[in-house]
Amino acid sequence: MKICSSFFIGLLACWGVVAQSFQETEGGISATIDSIEVEIQFFKPDLVRVIKYPEGSSYKKESLSVIMDPEDVSFNTREKGDYVSLSSKDLEVLLDLRNGNITFKRLGGRVLLQEISASFVKFNDAGEDTYSVSQSFKLDPEEAIYGLGILQNGKMSQRNQEVKMIQGNTWDFVPFFQSVKGYGLFWDNYSPTTFRDNIERTQFESEVGDGIDYYFMDGGNSDGVIANMRHLTGEVPMFPLWTFGYWQSKERYKSQEETVGVVKKYRELNVPLDGIIQDWQYWGDNYHWNAMEFLNPNFPEPQKMIDQIHDLNAHIIISIWSSFGPETQPYKDLKAGNDLLEFQTWPLSGKDTWPPDMNYPSGVRVYDAYNPEARDIYWKYLRKGLYSLGIDGWWMDSTEPDHLEFKPEDLDIQTHLGSFRKVRNAYPVLSVGGVYKNQRQETSDKRVFILTRSAFAGQQRYGANTWSGDVTASWDALGEQIPAGLNFSLTGIPYWNTDIGGFFLSKFKDKLEDPEYRELYARWLQFAAFTPMMRSHGADAPREIYQFGKKGDDIYDALEKFINLRYSLLPYIYSSAWDITHNNSSMMRALVMDFLGDSKVHDLNDQYMFGKSILVAPVTRSMYTVNKSENFGEVKSKDIYLPAGAIWYDYWDERKFNGGKRIEKETPIDVMPLYVRAGSILPIGPKVQYATQHDWNNLEVKVYPGANGEFILYEDENDNYNYEDGAYSEIKFEWKDEQKQLIIHPRKGEFEGMLKERVFNIKLVGEKQGSTSKNIKYHGEKLQVDL
């Protein structure tokens, strides 16, 4: 451990003194080693906070991510030669009194993680003396690690790379990783941070930090680590049922007639749709950027537009930004409070032209979301101009925020919490959190739903679904979305999505007329059907289903098939959402989460589990139009790996396979490989045009034999917070494979409008004997069904 001070021409002088003692504190110990104060504190028996700062200074921080108060943890302290050991019922933490390095061990078991060295380099941050800080760790050579945020690098394991972590459009960063060994580490710092991993060390290095501050957690496995991360930074609320349907958007609908017309067209075609998104410029010109009111003359009756959409049994969310034009009321209020940040952001020009005409600078500025009073001003105008009209949710664009023509001195700008550099990466969690908190104070009758372009640790507590930004359409980009979404989920933030088809079509000169793009779009939509939000969006060409032909056309039929498939799985998806809220689970699950013992999946980046039953293997390469011809008649195939330790059923033809081997799956344009794990119980919902059109009175329940299993069907009132007070029901299905017996347990809980009587159509899936079905009337009492 060292303190370094720059002097003369970059020369560094370092000094140190070995500590001889330590002191016990309320939750751990403290010691002074090599002129560095070291504090170790148990937050839970398996969760530890580590703080380090130079001797003679002080360190106090109110975390922007951590909301957990330390528990009263029982632990023992004893000296072991040059070490002091702290032991809870789960962890042993060893502090080396010679150099201040810390080792984390599972109690009575293996070493999980070891520190190598820490560093403090004096730094002047916009006139304030502080430090640049780093901490290095030693990982096992073959140890896979996951997380760090949304990374467009195509990697599943994040070993052997260097990443500069500063929020951007398509790269969102969370300074957290978890290991295949079952532990996680959250680096609680908000300044630009570099993550490095090589054969020598794994390191976080941040530009600004009065001290080193991180949390080590041992979960035993990925789910346990994620649970600890959420205990630390916030639990996940339920999303409304309607958010899990299909969503249509584009850049942008230019009139209220066009917006409503899209919904009407879907209803005429009998293609399911739950929501429409109104993108930017409904406020008019760029000088009124993000006015949070309809000033565009093409939207003369916004209340009528919203009412028409609701009358069509659809929902609308609308684009709002982190910046304001100089002619808007929010801008004027924020400027009066010195709550605008003076750097260049989108749009640069007041004229809606490309390239920007800088003879007419827009004057648009980002607001200081670090100030709670500024967040309240933001909500005041959002409430007045849009929420009061009945808008259902918020598309919070540019929550990084957009920072154009970047200059290093921009980071010297003062925010409510200090320099922009000091708090740069936490902007998303504060801006999103301001809207969530204010709306929750408004009412509990409607759940908050936020679609946002950026995220930071703790954002899962704010009803937000993060999308992967303005990615350019290509097969490589499609493939990169899979590990991007999985690694983001592995940081503890479970809700993620992507622009179906990619945002920009610059690589496809003929846009929708290009056969290869039509193939790419179909494959992207198939993948999106198995993400937490299924949302079509993009620039350069419209993406509505009817832009891809008509019923009977190959691409159109493939799109319609997967939209309907999504709706059939809503009981499964909504129950999986409850598993997230109630049990700290995840919806998009890297295969290592459920098949840790199979080393072949530790770095597999193109397959995953959707919920705990369905294995998804998206097609991420052109099969039919590589030569720009449009021939979807020939059947192609994809190589699939089925993880060991399970029996698998092909979702489409119900063929059975043993795990631990690779197989070939035929993949015509309307088929994406899907496999269901033996022991799964899969509820299939009714055919609908929107999520709540029909209740779940007559569900098909598919049972996949070959292993014991269980599933909990969750239901509630769909769009309020009454579930927090117990207004929901659970029906547990338990499959006993040896007895070929399905037990439907007594219903637990109740809510207004709950089905008290219903029919379950039980279907036993099987390769040889065909399918066995039984219709069972269920009144809430225990039933035993022999199949």
pLDDT, tens digit, 9 for 90 and up, residues 6-61: 322 232 333 344 445 899 999 999 999 999 999 999 999 999 999 999 999 999 99
With bands split at pLDDT 50, 70 and 90, how would you rate the model's confidence at 720? very high
Q: Please tell me which residue in 213, 327, 339, 397 is annotated as part of the active site.
A: 397
Q: Is 70 exposed, middle or buried (0-12, 13-18, 19+ CB in 10 A)?
A: middle
pLDDT at position 511 is 97
Length of the chain, in residues = 787
Pairing of strands 111-125, 741-744: unpaired
Mark 16-53 as b/e (b = at least 16 C-beta within 10 Å): eeebeebeeeebbbebbbbbbbbbbbbbbbbbbbbbbb
Mean pLDDT of the chain, nearest integer: 95
Residues 207-254 have pLDDT tens digits of: 999 999 999 999 999 999 999 999 999 999 999 999 999 999 999 999
pLDDT at position 629 is 58
- The 3-state DSSP class for residue 337 equals coil
pLDDT at position 354 is 85
pLDDT at position 633 is 66
With bands split at pLDDT 50, 70 and 90, how would you rate the model's confidence at 109? confident
Which distant-in-sequence residues (6+ apart) come within 8 Å of 663 by Cβ?
A: 639, 640, 642, 657
Q: Do domains 2-218 and 695-786 have the same CATH topology?
A: yes
pLDDT at position 7 is 29
pLDDT at position 6 is 36
To the nearest 10 degrees (0 to 180), the angle between helices 302-311 and 256-269 is 10
pTM of the model: 0.96
Q: Is 351 exposed, middle or buried (0-12, 13-18, 19+ CB in 10 A)?
A: middle
According to CATH, the superfamily of the domain at 2-218 is glycosyl hydrolase (family 31) (2.60.40.1760)
pLDDT at position 291 is 98
With bands split at pLDDT 50, 70 and 90, how would you rate the model's confidence at 630? low
Average pLDDT over residues 109-124: 96
Angstrom distance (rounded) from CA 437 to CA 379: 10
Tokens 């890297």 correspond to 590
Residue 717 CA: distances (Å) to CA of 14, 239, 292, 644: 63, 11, 30, 39
Which residues are 674's β-sheet partners?
616
CATH class belonging to 695-786: mainly beta
pLDDT at position 76 is 96
CATH architecture of 240-462: Alpha-Beta Barrel (3.20)
Angstrom distance (rounded) from CA 120 to CA 212: 9
Average pLDDT over residues 531-552: 98
pLDDT at position 14 is 37
Q: Are 573 and 243 in contact (CB under 8 A)?
A: no
Average pLDDT over residues 279-283: 96
Q: Are 85 and 77 in contact (CB under 8 A)?
A: yes
With bands split at pLDDT 50, 70 and 90, how would you rate the model's confidence at 634? confident
Residues 407-462 have pLDDT tens digits of: 999 999 999 999 999 999 999 999 999 999 999 999 999 999 999 999 999 999 99
Average pLDDT over residues 726-746: 98
pLDDT at position 21 is 84
470 has catalytic annotation: yes
Q: Please tell me which residue in 470, 553, 630, 650 is annotated as part of the active site.
A: 470
Tokens representing 54 are: 């130079």
pLDDT at position 627 is 62
Q: What's the per-residue H, E or C state across 612-640?
A: CCEEECCCCCCCCCCCCCCCCCCCCEEEE
397 has catalytic annotation: yes
With bands split at pLDDT 50, 70 and 90, how would you rate the model's confidence at 342? very high
Average pLDDT over residues 292-312: 98
With bands split at pLDDT 50, 70 and 90, how would you rate the model's confidence at 347? very high
Name the residue ranges covered by the structural domains of the chain: 2-218, 240-462, 695-786
- The 3-state DSSP class for residue 537 equals coil
Residue 735 pLDDT > 80, yes or no? yes
Residues 649-695 have pLDDT tens digits of: 999 999 999 999 999 999 999 999 999 999 999 999 999 999 999 99
pLDDT at position 212 is 98
3-state percent helix, strand, coil for the chain, nearest multiple of 5: 20, 30, 45
Q: Please tell me which residue in 205, 327, 400, 598 is annotated as part of the active site.
A: 400
285 has catalytic annotation: no
Angstrom distance (rounded) from CA 671 to CA 635: 10
Supply φ then ψ for residue 375, to 5 degrees.
Answer: -65, -35
